[in-house]
Chains A and B, each alone.
Chain A
Amino acid sequence: MNKELAIDAEDITIAYHEKPVIWDVDFQVPPGIMMAIVGPNGAGKSTLLKGILGLVKLTAGKVGIFGDTYERQRKLVGYVPQRTGVDWDFPTTVLDVVLMGTYGRLGWIKRPGKTEIYQATEALEKVGMRDYSTRQISQLSGGQQQRVFLARALTQDAEIFLMDEPFQGVDAATERTIIAILKELKHAGKTVVAVHHDLQTVPEYFDWVTLLNVRRIAGGPVKEIFTNENLRKTYGGKLSFLEEKESSSPVEITPSKGEQP
């Protein structure tokens, strides 16, 4: 395993039943970049993240985090799961949820103290939610829920941040806040990997991209990899985004659907 790489995953295959969700994927992330994982529904994007985090069993392959196994490097990785995965009517406060980010460092039984509360409050400040720290979590909007989850990951004080659809169903203001924080993390030398849905914003938000559809179609710097040809390979040509992109750039061949310019 390569010590220079933030994430070095080789030959990853994940299968829940007979059909593999992820097939023989090599996934390498150099440190200090922002990478989007892009692909159609059911392409295995979330599953790949979960595989790296050891949340689902790998059928084959191995994962290295800065040259060692995830179990040993756990503290270097912060995770932002999809916010729809939890019950937001759970009886707890915003601060309590953010404090959970410190639990891994604390280990079993030990309780969060002043230092942890300070860190959690600082993280809430960063995502613009400090005034909400005593709020019950059921009162939050979708965007606020996402900010809380991001704040929770920030308190992990990690080197690598893995995020599952951080922009799913959030308002424009939250999207701007989140992307500003992610860019800040990148400037601080951290590595960010996010499952992303909106192809339009990929070049604006990210500098690297991995195109995934069960197999890894392509991966690398956005400028080289985010091409129509690669996107077509990933999405199988059924993509309105491609048509827009093509019709807006005169160099490209006009789409076949008889839309004469």
Chain B
Amino acid sequence: MIFLADYTLKIVALGSALLGIVAGSLGTFAVLRKQSLLGDSISHAALPGIVLAFMITGSKSSLILLLGAAVAGWIGSYFILGIIRHSRISSDGAQGVILSVFFGIGLLLLTYIQSQPNAAQAGLDKYLFGQAAALLKEDLWITVIFGTVAIICMALFWKEFKLMTFDPIYGQSLGFSERATDLMITALIVIAIVTGLSTVGVILMSSMLIAPASAARQWTNKMGAMVVLSAFFGALGGVAGALLSSLIPNLPTGPAIVLCLTAIVILSLLLSPNRGILARSAQRYRNRFAFSLQKLLLDLYHLEENHTDGERAHSIKTISLIRSREGNIRIALQALESNNWATQTDEKLWTLTQDGRIQAEKLLNKGEENL
């Protein structure tokens, strides 16, 4: 029994890691092309394909069901691109319509065959939320083969994908076909989605594409690094979620993986060095402090100017009276001192240094230039 559990765990972890790599790396393009909803539409549109494939063949082999899913997902995305191109409906409208229509048909078919006395249909509903514990070696091979093909394609057409994602109009003027790259990228996204349906399910699969890429964008400004990092985050979230769901009974894999990915996204949003929320507010705080120091420097300078009798040093009390900004004055004065712009006399009075005067005059001149 222990051996069996171990074996299942191994398959589950490996399968989710592979899935995370494939979905994470291809998801980068969905995010950069601002087509996050497209992935969602494709995965929802896959449901009727799965059920129809079963109804036609009577087989529950993953390969057959996923081929059905791929065909349906592909048709769905083809409709979406067609609607956008040939009507005045915007892309989010087209995606919303196709998503709900296809998913509705899928649910209808699923309910219908579940009402049939045929016992063979049991288990099809695992494609709604995913069931990593039911992964077989066969599923792993499907992921490996499809995923490898998709990643090789991405590497091969890297230059074209980058160009047509960044500036499709310019790309077309160079002679690259936007239609061709659109179709290729969509096909790759379909592949990434389909390989994850048995693990994550149709409803939440798109987050496997979007979440790792969004998190990765926070940490890097290079597209290549973003793909690698996104694949890593995808694998991490996938393994963590899948293990969680096989350890806790009745926890479906899809939601567990999504929760783990969400944690990665939140941490990235908060902590990443340049784009992160914390880094940005720290930067804002530093800017404000630097600005208040400049203000104080100017205040001291003007105070000196008003006292032409040579009495240049002033007490903290006097300074705080004329100071136009709030905040701890001692800290600010000490900061000026550490910059060598101000100094404290023996009588505990504050005065500008020569450096400080030069600095203040520089600031004043800059202000006049800006006017």
Candidates B159, B166, B169; contact of A55 at CB < 8 Å? B169
Contact A77 B222 (CB under 8 A): no
Residues of A within 8 A of B172 (CB): 53-55
Which residues of the partner chain B approach A77 to less than 8 Å between Cβ atoms? 173
List 7 other contacts, CB 8 Å, given A87-B166, A91-B220, A111-B158. Answer: A55-B169, A71-B175, A81-B167, A81-B170, A92-B222, A103-B171, A106-B159
| Residues of chain B lying within 8 A (CB to CB) of residue A96 | 162
Q: Whole-angstrom distance between the alpha carbons of A112 and B159 in the complex?
A: 9
- B32's partner among A90, A100, A136 (CB-CB below 8 A) is A90
Which of A79, A92, A136 sits near B173, CB closer than 8 Å?
A79
Could you mark each residue 82-115 of chain A with 1 if its beta carbon is under 8 Å from any beta carbon of chain B, else 0? 0001110011110011001001101011111000
A144 to B171, CA, bound (A): 21
Please determine whether A91 and B32 come into contact, CB atoms closer than 8 angstroms. yes
Binary CB contact string for chain A from 1 to 19 against chain B (1 if under 8 A, 0 otherwise): 0000000000000000000
**Within the assembled complex, what's the spacing in Å between the Cα atoms of A69 and B223?**
35
Whether A103 lies near B221 (C-beta < 8 A) is no
- A91 in contact with B217 (CB, 8 Å): yes
Question: Given the complex of chains A and B, what is the CA–CA distance between A71 and B220 in angstroms?
Answer: 38
A91 B159 Cβ-Cβ under 8 A? no
Task: Tell me the nearest residue of chain A to B28, going by C-beta.
Answer: A91
- Are the CB atoms of B169 and A138 closer together than 8 Å? no
State how many angstroms separate the Cβ of A241 from the closest Cβ of chain B.
Answer: 29
Q: For A55, list chain B residues within 8 Å (CB).
A: 169, 172-173
Tell me, in angstroms, the Cα distance from A136 to B221 when the chains sit together: 7
B226 within 8 A of A: yes
Q: Which of B167-197 contact A (CB under 8 A)?
A: 167, 169-176
Task: Give every chain B residue within 8 A of A106 (Cβ-Cβ).
Answer: 159
Contact of A91 among B34, B171, B174, B223 (CB under 8 A): B223
In the complex, how many angstroms separate the beta carbon of A6 from the nearest chain B beta carbon? Answer: 16
Q: Contact check, B223 vs A74: say whether CB atoms are below 8 A apart.
A: no
Other-chain residue from A74, A87, A103 in contact with B159 (beta carbon distance below 8 A): A103
Q: How far is the CB of B231 from chain A (nearest CB, A)?
A: 15
**Closest CB in chain B relative to A98 CB, distance in Å:** 12
How many Å lie between the Cα of A138 and that of B225 in the bound state?
Answer: 17
Q: List A7-51 residues whose CB lies under 8 Å from chain B.
A: 50
Query: Quick check: B226 and A91 within 8 Å, CB to CB?
Result: yes
B: interface residue count bin: 20 to 34
* Residue contact A92 to B223, C-beta cutoff 8 Å: yes
Return A156 CB to nearest CB of chain B, in Å. 8
Which residue from chain B places its CB closest to the CB of A156 in the assembled complex?
Answer: B174
Please, which residues of chain B bring their CB within 8 A of the CB of A100?
163, 166-167, 170-171, 174
Decide if B169 touches A85 in the complex (CB within 8 Å): yes
- Tell me the nearest residue of chain B to A109, going by C-beta: B156
CA gap between A136 and B274 in the complex, in Å: 12
Known: A81-B167, A109-B157, A112-B159. A91 touches B221 (CB 8 A): yes
Docked complex Cα distance between A54 and B170 (Å): 11
Whether, in the assembled complex, B160 has its beta carbon less than 8 Å from a beta carbon of chain A, the answer is yes
| B159: chain A residues within 8 A (beta carbon) | 103, 106, 109-112
Q: Is A103 a contact partner of B222 (Cβ separation < 8 A)?
A: no
Known: A53-B173, A74-B174, A103-B159. A93 touches B222 (CB 8 A): yes
- In B130-169, the 8 Å CB interface with A consists of 156-160, 162-163, 165-167, 169
Q: With A and B bound together, what is the CA distance between A91 and B166 in angstroms? A: 9
How close is A146's CB to chain B, nearest CB, in angstroms?
Answer: 14
In the assembled complex, the Cα of A100 lies from the Cα of B168 at a distance in Å of 11
23 pairs from A and B in contact (CB 8 Å cutoff): A53-B172, A74-B174, A81-B173, A85-B167, A86-B167, A90-B223, A91-B32, A91-B225, A91-B226, A92-B222, A93-B221, A93-B222, A96-B162, A97-B166, A100-B166, A100-B171, A103-B159, A103-B163, A104-B174, A108-B157, A108-B176, A152-B170, A156-B174
Shortest C-beta distance, B351 to chain A (Å), equals 40
Complex Cα spacing A92 to B222, Å = 5
List residues of chain B with CB within 8 A of the CB of A152. 170
Q: Which of A79, A103, A112, A136 neighbours the largest number of chain B CB atoms within 10 Å of its CB?
A: A103
CA distance A79 to B173 in the complex (A): 7
Q: Across chains A and B, which 5 residue pairs bring their CB atoms closest together, nearest first?
A: A104-B174, A136-B221, A79-B173, A53-B173, A86-B167
Residues of A within 8 A of B34 (CB): 87
